[in-house]
């Protein structure tokens, strides 16, 4: 088991585990300072590519974004989502997990549970690739959003599913949109850390989609806390840029690349970009 995974496991019952999603290097290098885990989520399908669900995002697209994210990461655990259709059979799952691992140099992969694919988790782990599970509202398998575990029978099923995922060897598990009591019970029963999204503070850690907390995605359900409204900030900057061009405020002499420019401080500081 890698040092990074051991570090995350050690936080169970001690410290809360901080996780966020990233799809590119620039964002990843900011997250890396504060997060224990960075996930290249298939949520990029909706958030970045404007698809109606996560079903059509390709393995290759996930790999390309993960390569970018990897470049921004030094210390956090890099987990890559396996997209829908990439783990239909144990042998396909193993082949694709190996491909993700090799091309992205990630630390683990995440697969959504359909309450049947425990053998697939075991098979990926046999190939020495750590796996994170994911239960509750699993967008790859469920078309309708709902809070999971309200009914007693449903709660029991979720608890059993989480235990099976732990038994299969997963090092951690995402609990998405579970009732607080089910999240609490699973967190108590499992030795592996639970990472909640819309599943209360009872989980060992929390994850959210970064674009949601930054106010970029336009998706702000109750379980999301929006820390800043980047949409408005970016719009203001772009509006100013547009005005500057039209009024010829930009570019001005300071931005011209001629004459005595090699002597100025800007050139000296930025020569590698020029």
Q: What DSSP assignment string belongs to the chain?
A: --HHHHHHHTTTTTSPEEEEE-SSHHHHHHHTTT-SEEEE-TTHHHHTT--SSSTT--HHHHHHHHHHHHHT-SSSEEEEEPPTTTTSSHHHHHHHHHHHHHHH--SEEE----SSTHHHHHHHHHTT--EEEEEES-TTT-SS---B--SHHHHHHHHHHHHHHHHHT-SEEEEESB-HHHHHHHHHH-SSPEEEESS-TTSSEEEE-HHHHTT-SS---TT------HHHHHHHHHHHHHHHHHTT-SS-GGG--SGGGGGSHHHHHHGGG-
Please list every residue from 127 through 186 that binds ligand KIV, using CB under 6 A: 174
CB of 188 to ligand KIV, least distance (A): 21
Residues 218-257, interacting with ligand KIV (CB under 6 A): none
Residue whose CB is less far from ligand KIV, 81 or 185: 81
Task: Determine which residue in the list 8, 17, 21, 129 makes contact with ligand KIV, applying CB under 6 A.
Answer: 21
Residue number, 221 or 259, with CB nearest to ligand KIV = 221
Closer by beta carbon to ligand KIV, 62 or else 168: 62
Question: Shortest Cβ contact with ligand KIV: which residue?
Answer: 41
| Least distance from ligand KIV to the Cβ atom of residue 16, Å | 16
Q: How far is the CB of 237 from ligand KIV (least distance, A)?
A: 27
Show the binding pattern over residues 33-52: x = contacts ligand KIV (CB under 6 A), - = does not: ------x-xxx---------
User: Where along the sequence are the contacts to ligand KIV (CB under 6 A)?
Assistant: 21, 39, 41-43, 81, 174, 197, 207, 209
Catalytic residues: 176
């Amino acid at each position: 088991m890698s040092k990074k995974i051991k570090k995350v496991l050690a936080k169970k019952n001690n410290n809360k585990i901080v996780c966020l999603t990233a799809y590119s290097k620039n964002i990843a290098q900011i997250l890396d300072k504060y997060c224990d885990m960075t996930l290249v989520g298939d949520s990029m399908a909706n958030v970045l590519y404007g698809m109606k669900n996560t079903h059509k995002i390709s393995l290759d697209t996930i790999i390309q974004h993960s390569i970018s994210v990897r470049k921004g990461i030094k210390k956090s655990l890099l987990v890559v989502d396996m997209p829908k259709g990439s783990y239909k059979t144990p042998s396909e799952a193993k082949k694709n997990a190996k491909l993700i691992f090799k091309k992205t140099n990630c630390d683990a992969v995440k697969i959504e549970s359909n309450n049947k694919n425990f053998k697939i988790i075991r098979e990926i782990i046999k190939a020495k690739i750590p796996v994170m599970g994911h239960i509750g509202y699993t967008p790859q398998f469920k078309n309708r959003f709902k809070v999971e575990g309200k009914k007693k029978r449903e709660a029991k099923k979720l608890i059993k599913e989480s235990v099976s995922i732990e038994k299969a060897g997963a090092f951690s598990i995402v609990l998405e949109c579970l009732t607080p009591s089910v999240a609490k019970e699973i967190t108590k029963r499992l030795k592996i850390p639970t990472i909640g999204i819309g599943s209360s503070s009872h989980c060992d850690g929390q994850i959210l989609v970064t674009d949601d907390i930054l106010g970029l995605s336009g998706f702000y359900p109750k379980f999301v806390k929006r820390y800043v409204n980047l949409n408005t900030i970016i719009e203001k900057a772009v509006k100013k840029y547009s005005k500057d061009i039209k009024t010829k405020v930009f570019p001005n002499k300071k931005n011209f690349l001629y004459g005595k420019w090699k002597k100025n401080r800007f050139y000296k500081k930025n020569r590698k970009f020029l």
